[in-house]
Amino acid sequence: MTTPDSAHPDDPHYVHRTGWLRAAVLGANDGIISVASLIIGVAAATPEAGPVLVAGVAALMAGAMSMAAGEYISVSSQADSEQADIRREAEALEATPADEEAELAAIYQARGLSPATAAAVARELTALDPLAAHVRDELGLSDHLAARPLQAALASGVTFSAAAAVPLVAAWLAPAGAIMVTVVAVSIIALAVLGALGAKAGAAPLVPATLRVVGWGVFAMATTAAVGRLFGVSV
Ligand SMILES: [Zn+2]
């Protein structure tokens, strides 16, 4: 079955971006906040750059692996339940085809079609590809939204690493004794850019999305700085 041309090809829908976009924004956001906060926490405890950079590299590696693993596992279980639903649907179509066609007609009727039109649409789509019709119109699954574990894992692992490199490079290039202020400044700018990019890519309002990302970032960095300072005093 062919996909019809869009009525507005110059202004595409955003829905097919949701899968990897969500993983990418989540990964990048986590990368900046977790690695910047860790660097600031260690820098608050010790003024030496060595331990700070070692902790930063370790946080980047550990974070990227856990993000990718987490996405892979969660999206895989989503893919598993989607596949189980599709299998169950195929079995039902095999066992009770007439009931399934009536169910499809009821779905179209509930969407506003007249009983006669709904029955005709259900009959035609059932004759064409019954499973595709049920998967799309009963289960609400489509190619756009299909769970892709590897894509999601890669999207979040790669974006986590790329984003986490920002505070890490800032710490590395920071003048001696100015690691904390440099990392905070660079991370806030990076989070603002990320918030704006995420809002733009998902067609969401710019300011609330940006403030949300920056607000949480500042809160996380302030918390770890306080804890680091506490440890620095007590160690
Ligand atoms: Zn069904």
pLDDT value at residue 197: 84
- Kindly state whether residue 6 falls inside one of the protein's structural domains: no
Rg of the chain taking only CA atoms, in angstroms: 25
CA 134 to ligand 1 centroid distance, Å:
5
Q: What is the extent of the structural domain holding 136?
A: 18-229
- Kindly state whether residue 117 falls inside one of the protein's structural domains: yes
CA 114 to ligand 1 centroid distance, Å:
20
For the chain, the average pLDDT equals 88
Q: Which amino acid is at 127?
A: A
Taking the C-alpha atoms of residue 18 and residue 6, their distance in angstroms, rounded to an integer, is 18
CB 230 within 8 A of CB 204: no
The domain tally of the chain equals 1
Q: Which sign, positive or negative, has the C-alpha torsion 57, 197, 152, 158?
A: negative
CA 146 to ligand 1 centroid distance, Å:
18
Percent of the chain with pLDDT over 90: 62
Higher local confidence (pLDDT), 59 or 12: 59
- The tokens 């969407």 sit on which residue? 111
What tens digit of pLDDT does each residue of 25-58 get? 788 999 999 999 999 989 988 878 899 999 999 9
Checking if the pLDDT of 94 tops 70, the result is yes
- Kindly state whether residue 2 falls inside one of the protein's structural domains: no
CB 55 within 8 A of CB 171: no
What tens digit of pLDDT does each residue of 125-180 get? 999 999 999 999 999 887 766 778 888 888 889 999 999 999 999 999 998 889 99
Which uninterrupted H or E stretch holds 223? helix 206-234
- Kindly state whether residue 1 falls inside one of the protein's structural domains: no
CA 98 to ligand 1 centroid distance, Å:
10
For ligand 1, an ion, list residues with CB under 5 A.
Answer: 100, 134, 138
Higher local confidence (pLDDT), 7 or 106: 106
Checking if the pLDDT of 11 tops 70, the result is no
- Kindly state whether residue 7 falls inside one of the protein's structural domains: no
Among 1-5, 65-69, 143-147, the range of highest mean pLDDT = 65-69
CA 89 to ligand 1 centroid distance, Å:
6
CA 132 to ligand 1 centroid distance, Å:
10
pLDDT value at residue 145: 65
Checking if the pLDDT of 82 tops 70, the result is yes
CA distances from 184 to 28, 32, 157, 160, 161 (A): 16, 10, 23, 18, 18
Mean pLDDT value of segment 104-116: 97
- Kindly state whether residue 72 falls inside one of the protein's structural domains: yes
CA 102 to ligand 1 centroid distance, Å:
9
Higher local confidence (pLDDT), 3 or 223: 223
pLDDT value at residue 17: 60
pLDDT value at residue 48: 85
- Kindly state whether residue 154 falls inside one of the protein's structural domains: yes
- Kindly state whether residue 109 falls inside one of the protein's structural domains: yes
pLDDT value at residue 232: 72
Taking the C-alpha atoms of residue 185 and residue 183, their distance in angstroms, rounded to an integer, is 6
What tens digit of pLDDT does each residue of 194-210 get? 888 888 877 788 899 89
pLDDT value at residue 205: 87
CB 153 within 8 A of CB 26: no
